[in-house]
Structure 1
Amino acid sequence: MNRAILILLMTFALSSLQAFCHEQIVIQLAKPNHTDAVKNQYIHDILDKSFAAMDADVVLLYNVKPMNNKRIVEQLSHNKTITLAWLSLPHEHADSLVKTTIPLYKGLHGKRLLIIRHEDQEKFSGIKTLADLTPLVGLQQQSWSDYTVLKNNGLTVNGELDYPGMVKALETGLGDYFPRSVLAIGTELNRLKQFNFVIAPNIMLQYPSDYYFYLSKENQHIRDMLEQGMQKLQQSGELEQLYLQYFGDVEKQFSLKQRHIITLKNKE
């Protein structure tokens, strides 16, 4: 009798464990701050393949309202509305959040090209140093990580405008340049093709910037699962294949190796 009960209990425990392992996990993501932004398929592929490598049933859903990075960190810290985000954050947030350990973009987010007016190409072709750039007015939002980096390096930055306002300021000459990631500038210029904008010739701003997946401490188990899945993808070479699939042509497209680099410090 005791043996039968023991077998029954073991069977029940095993079935409960299997049910838990295959329980569907819903992960809420922050909606991009620009309502017309396309889904980041690279990030989705990493998440899908990493969780699949752990045999986890995960559904990715976007939060209804757009959020900037400050709001995202706040919501993550309190484990509200969103579960996970990919961010580049200073070390001060380490106490309230947990993160994965593999950089998502290999530092490409720290490479910045400048969107300028077409007629200003000659002016920018003469810029070689940080001091050359200092008298000109850059455009960023204060909530964006670039704003702090640019200001800390002594550059003049207007951070008071929303995105349409920055575009208008650049168009009318109230701002001189709009630094954008090499990963996004192609799409962004295409979206702004009605304006007479181009990429500043010959130069590139660069500073240390690595993106990781961040989660609330309450979701440590999801972080651990994601970390293990990413490690498996890295070991199999699939993570590198994904990177090359999406970003292998970036250096060639914008001639990054031929550009003069203006190095910025990034105090983290």
Structure 2
Amino acid sequence: MQIPSFTQNPAAHFSWFLKLVVVAAISLNLFAHPAQAADSKTTLRYFPSGPIYEYRWQLLELALAHTRATDGRVRLVPYTEEISQNRGMELLQAGEINVIALGTNAERESHMLPIKIDILRGLIGFRLLVIRAADQARIAQMDEHALRQQLILGLNSQWADVPIMQASGFTVVTSTNYENLFGMLAAERFDAFPRGLNEAARELEERKDSYPQLVVEKTKALFFPYPVYFWVNKNDTALAERIERGLKLSLEDGSFRKLFETYHANEIATLAKEHRQVIRLSNPVLPEKTPEPDTRWWWK
């Protein structure tokens, strides 16, 4: 750029100087915010995170991809701090977490906004029993009445299935720490740790060196209606609408089902070959008019 002579043309010099200031300001802004300049994605923080929850967030990614053309790009980031479910819900209401994926009950629906599409198709309500291997023969001989009367279950005190099990006649021992429950079971503090069909084997595989005495019980299963939803802040209706629209689109084109079956193929195949006594439980904390889970993708 040719610099004009200030003495010959002061107005031209001022115009040139103004242009230089504007160019410098734009350049400084780009360098000060390189990520913003390069990527205009919206960031959404989610909870809970970890291997057993991977499918849930892949499904959310799928739903958001179906609405990208109209609603823009999104980057999903896990909330990695160790917190309880109750704390996670508090942070959602405070705006520090944007999306959570948990089972429903009436209290949760009064405080948060659910997207009422069961992302696990009833799967999480099909509970296998993690037990001590030495108890396999004893539990296999129990009928339904004996199971309810004699078997002591272990659960996290903040999980929504605690009142379900208690209402069904089970004695429940609780801990506020999920990881502690494996040690408590090994130490004979209770008899069985009910885990979802998609959780039990994976969790034991991850802990086989620490708890080699723990196994999945072979003859029994519990089942109760327990839909799992994505939840957002009560005021974030735009995000709720986007997620719902994306889930419906993925249901229509079959990509939702394909992802579900890909992630749960081993569990579905194993269940088809087993002959378990399935004990059906009611869910007294389920909100009114909640439909029965559609399990046809994995259990007919």
Q: Contact 1:30 / 1:66 at 8 angstroms: preserved in 2?
A: no
Match of 1:180 among 189, 195, 203: 195
Asked if 1:96 corresponds to 2:100, the answer is no
TM-score by length of 1: 0.83
Q: Does the CA contact (< 8 Å) of 2:62 and 2:246 recur in 1?
A: yes
- Secondary structure class of the residue paired with 1:66: coil
- The amino acid that maps onto 1:29 is Y
Shift of residue 247, structure 1, vs aligned partner: 1.5
TM-score of the two chains, using structure 2 as the length reference: 0.74
Tell me the equivalent position of 2:74.
58
Distance in 1 (CA, whole Å) between partners of 2:136 and 2:52 is: 32
Shift in Å at residue 175 of structure 1? 1.5
Unaligned runs of 5+ in 1: 1-21
Q: Return the alpha-carbon distance in structure 1 between the equivalents of residues 117 and 178 of structure 2.
A: 31
Residue-pair matches, total: 242
Q: Is the contact between residue 165 and residue 172 of structure 2 (CA under 8 Å) also seen in structure 1? A: yes
Identity %: 22
Aligned to 2:85: 69
Give distance in 2, aligned partners of 1:81 and 1:181.
28
Match of 2:54 among 28, 41, 48: 41
2:205 to 165, 190, 195: 190
Aligned partner of 2:255 in structure 1 is 238
Shift of the alpha carbon at 1:230? 1.2
- Counterpart secondary structure, 1:65: coil
Find 2:242's aligned residue among 212, 225, 228: 225
Residue segments in structure 2 that go unaligned for 5+ positions in a row: 1-38, 287-300
**C-alpha distance after superposition, 1:131-152 (max 9, x if no partner):** 4332222111111122221112
- 1:40 aligned counterpart, secondary structure: helix
SS in 2 for 1:190: helix
* TM-superposition CA deviations, 1:5-25 (whole Å, max 9, x none): xxxxxxxxxxxxxxxxx9522
* Partners of 1:206 and 1:239 in 2: CA distance: 23
Q: CA RMSD of the aligned region, Å? A: 2.1
The 3-state SS of whatever aligns with 2:236 is helix
Matched, 1:128 2:143: yes
Map Cα deviations across residues 24-78 of structure 1 (whole Å, 9 max, x no partner): 221111244xxxx3273322222222112112210111224122222222222x2
Aligned to 1:140: 155
Task: Please tell me whether Structure 1 or Structure 2 has the larger radius of gyration of its CA atoms.
Answer: 2
Change (3 A) 1:31 1:96: closer
